[in-house]
Structure 1
């Protein structure tokens, strides 16, 4: 199943320039007069997975929502070269899907009906979903092993099953869209380690197979470093570090910005961050 046409290949026999998937320039967000995100700039290449990390209150979710066009901001964000501010809302919703931490789910809604909500940007005003929209939703459900649950109420699913359904809605939203961006706000925050792995492996597989570009926020540092191509460390609303996990997950940076005593252990899958208890007086 193809959800979106892959972005242009980096190699081109005609010498065509590769367009950056996402470009954020001096993004600044104020909420209620308070400065939450302060002149943050970064780029994300097509097919890349960038994860934003940082202590509580650093502005991670706010930055993600600004990039999604859900919050007013100063600065500029470009999606495959197109200025975010110039894109019509419907076009924006077709190209960027956001998975929030705690989505509002209407009581009693079935899994299939919830996934179909992702097709809303593709439906004309005053219209309703077509058979094509239903087929897209069913293909996504099949791809995410949700077919046994299509008639079940979303509230009756386990945590891992529900998170797959939430992801399915986002993928149904992006289906048929070229140059798509998937934004994940703490996608594993309410899941145990097994379901965390299940969801992240699924995202990584879809990224490889469907040409998706992914930007996420995450608290679990070791897991973030294992799955993301690069990490962006946000502290007090400002960019503190940006690069591969080995360059960002260091004892010095984590001590400075998390005020944490940790040991960072190199492993085949990336740095493993182990908290250390404070020294204690022996009695």
Structure 2
């Protein structure tokens, strides 16, 4: 990779993606600074997951995406895997695979061809499993875990990868509120102590606003608002683009979005 000490972690310029002939992203510009946490929000079908897949190299957009100053198309697969790790909403789970073996897949970018994982690789994996409250799950098959437990295993694999850019697509959708907080606090701690950069999508707007440095609101494949959470999570913007009735009140770590019932019309 090129010397990119001053380059942003993510730089999107006129990102356009169509799937089966249908435009999904219609010219997105977005910059994420190294060490920043940016959360993309928007109604269903806005293009949030598509944006993350393009940044992760899973959709063809090599000229529109730069990672740490290098065009995505210039990164070989193993190089890209050392830079960016993705936690998808519904990853493919190999049948019969145990938790330890699945998380070890995150170390593949560092294992030589035809080689085996080292003691250092195993140490990384065990540390991540411990931090995600998964100690004791090593031999369990993924298929036997609850949705929340699997979600933590998916995150463990991404963290074991050691990448400096973490893409989180609805990372807490299957978690109870306690594990939601544990997972997000861990990600934020790693961001602060290891310079991790986070680009996430989230449906829970209050939780999103508590952790993000900056939020980006997508609608109809375009950026319609970008800024600190208190500038994006406004009653006007949410009513306009989500067609939702909400109240937004200040919270200790960010705006709190409270759904409210529409006013009933008297008969």
TM-score, structure 2 normalization = 0.92
Map 1:14-25 onto structure 2 (within 5 A): 18-25=6-13
2:223 corresponds to 1:239: yes
1:204-236 per-residue CA deviation (whole Å, 9 max, x = no partner) reads 122122221000000011111111111000000
Q: Which runs of 5+ in 1 are unaligned?
A: 1-7, 9-15
**SS of equivalent residue, structure 2 residue 136:** helix
Mapped to 2, the partners of 1:281 and 1:138 lie a distance apart of 58
Mapped to 1, the partners of 2:95 and 2:108 lie a distance apart of 19
**SS of equivalent residue, structure 2 residue 6:** coil
User: How far has the Cα of 1:75 moved from its partner?
Assistant: 4.7
1:239-269 per-residue CA deviation (whole Å, 9 max, x = no partner) reads 0111101000111111111111211111222
1:137-157 per-residue CA deviation (whole Å, 9 max, x = no partner) reads 223223333232212222333
Map 1:37-186 onto structure 2 (within 5 A): 37-73=25-61, 75-174=63-162, 180-186=164-170
Mapped to 1, the partners of 2:130 and 2:37 lie a distance apart of 24
Does the 8 Å contact 2:28/2:223 carry over to 1? yes
**SS of equivalent residue, structure 1 residue 149:** coil
Pair 75,37 (structure 1): closer, same or farther in 2 beyond 3 Å: farther
Identify the residue that residue 13 of structure 1 maps to in structure 2: none
User: How far has the Cα of 1:110 moved from its partner?
Assistant: 1.5
User: How far has the Cα of 1:68 moved from its partner?
Assistant: 0.8
1:264 to 248, 254, 257: 248
Mapped to 1, the partners of 2:48 and 2:9 lie a distance apart of 19
Mapped to 2, the partners of 1:217 and 1:245 lie a distance apart of 14
User: How far has the Cα of 1:87 moved from its partner?
Assistant: 0.8
**SS of equivalent residue, structure 1 residue 105:** coil
Pair 17,138 (structure 1): closer, same or farther in 2 beyond 3 Å: closer
The more displaced of 223-232 and 140-149 is: 140-149
User: How far has the Cα of 1:172 moved from its partner?
Assistant: 1.3
Mapped to 1, the partners of 2:233 and 2:54 lie a distance apart of 25
Alpha-carbon RMSD: 2.0
Identify the residue that residue 3 of structure 1 maps to in structure 2: none
Mapped to 2, the partners of 1:115 and 1:173 lie a distance apart of 9
2:185 corresponds to 1:197: no
Mapped to 1, the partners of 2:10 and 2:17 lie a distance apart of 18
Does the 8 Å contact 1:28/1:75 carry over to 2? no
Q: Which runs of 5+ in 2 are unaligned?
A: none
**SS of equivalent residue, structure 1 residue 208:** helix
Does the 8 Å contact 1:26/1:74 carry over to 2? no
User: How far has the Cα of 1:74 moved from its partner?
Assistant: 6.8
**Structure 1 ranges of 4+ moved more than 6 A:** none
**SS of equivalent residue, structure 1 residue 148:** coil
